[in-house]
Structure 1
Amino acid sequence: MNRIHLRIRRQTGFAYIAAVVLLVVVAGLAVALLRLTATQQATVNQALLGARASLAARGGVEWAFNVLGTQCQPAPTSTTLTQFQAESGFQVTITCSYSTYFEGERIRLPGPGGDPEQVADPLAKRIYRISAVACNGGGASCPEQGAAAAAADYVERARVATVCVVMDPSNTLIPCET
C-alpha cells in the first residue's frame, strides 16, 4: 500500500513542472508581443513625422516661389523660416539661387522701308533653383548636425524645384514657354 501512495505523489509533481514551463512560455510570448507593439508604434510615428516634414518642405518651396524675384540672388542665399516651426514643429531652411542664360543670337534685322537696321538681342532667361529642407531638430538651421540628427525621432526631408522665367520690360517675371 505504501507503494501506491508513492506513485501518486510522483505523478502530481509532474503537473507542477508542466505548469511552470507553460507560464514561462506564455510570459515569453507576452514579452515578444510587447516588443512587436513598441516597434510598430515607433514605425508609425516615424512615418507620420516623415509625412509632416515632407509637407513642411513643400510649403517652403511654395513660399520661395512667392518671393522669387525679391529675395533670390545669383549666389546661393539661405533663409530659415521660423514661422513654420510654430505651426508644424518643423524648421525649414530654403536655399535659392539662379543662373542667367541667353537664348538665341544677336542679329541685325533690316528696317522696314529703308529704315536703319534693328538689333534683336538674345532672350535672357533665368533658371531658379530652390531647395527646401525641413527638420524637427532644435538647431539654427536644417539639416541638423551632431547629436540632434542622431536622435531616434529626428526627421528630415528635402525638396528641390527649378523654374525658368523671363524678365519682361517692366521687370515682371514671366514663365518660360515650353
Structure 2
Amino acid sequence: MSRPRPQSGFAYIAAIVFLVVIAGIAVALLQLTTTQQTTVNQALLGARAGLAARAGIEWVYEDLGSRCAQTGTITDLGDFVNDAGFHVRVTCSYRVYLEGEQLDASGALEAVVKHIYRIESVACNRNGPGACPDDASVPRPDYVERKRVATVCMTANNNNNNPFCN
C-alpha cells in the first residue's frame, strides 16, 4: 500500500495572489499621485491667472483718466506675457451721472457729477496670438482663464480734494 503524498503548492498560489494585490495597490497610488499633481498644477495656474487679471485692473487704475478715456476701450497688455506667461485683456467703460446738488466755492448750487468706471480684466494662458478668452484653447487640460471686474466711482468736481464718491 502506498502512502498518500502530503499536499503542497498552496504557498505558490498565495504568493501570486499577494503579488497581484500589491501591484493593484501600486497602480492605484500612481494614478492618485498623478491626479493630485494635476490638481496642484491647475490651482497654481489659476492663482497666477487671477493675479495677472488683478494686475490688469491695477494698470488701468493707475491712470484711470487717460486709460479709460473712451467707453468700451479694449487693451491687450502684451508685456504681461513675457513677465507672467499670461495674456491679459482689459476692457474699460464708464457712465456719467448727475446726482443731487451741493454748494460750490461761491455758495451757488451745482450738480454733483459722478463718473462710474467699470474695469474688466481677463487673463488666460492661451497659445499663440489672439484675444483672451480663447475658445480654441479651452479643451487643453492646462488652459486657465480668470476674470476680475472692478467698479470705481469718482466725482468730476473733486469736492474737498477727494476725487472718490462718498
Q: Same fold (TM over 0.5)?
A: yes
Indicate the RMSD between aligned Cα atoms, in angstroms. 2.4
Give the TM-score normalised by structure 1. 0.81
Equivalents in 2 of 1:62, 1:153: separation in Å? 26
- Read off the aligned partner of 2:138 and give its amino acid letter: A
Q: How far, CA to CA, are the matches of 2:108 and 2:134 in structure 1?
A: 52
- How many residue pairs match? The answer is 161
Moved over 2 A (4+): 1-4, 118-121
Distance 1:73 1:3, change over 3 A: farther
Residues 28 and 43 (structure 1), Cα distance of their counterparts in 2 relative to 1, 3 Å cut: same
Distance 1:58 1:2, change over 3 A: farther
Bigger radius of gyration among the two: 1
Residue 32 of structure 1 corresponds to 28
The 8 Å contact of residues 49 and 146 in structure 2, kept in 1 or not, is answered as yes
1:18 Cα offset (Å): 0.9
Q: Write out per-residue CA displacement over residues 91-140 of structure 1, whole angstroms, 9 at most, x where no aligned residue.
A: 11100000000012599xxxx9xxxxx86331211000000111111241
TM-score, with length taken from structure 2: 0.87
| d(CA) in 2 for partners of 1:173, 1:128 | 16
Q: Which residue of 1 aligns with 2:131?
A: 141
Runs of at least 5 residues in structure 1 that lack an aligned partner in the other structure: 113-117
Q: Which residue of 2 aligns with 1:93?
A: 89
The equivalent residue for 2:100 is 104
Indicate the residue corresponding to 1:115 in structure 2.
Answer: none
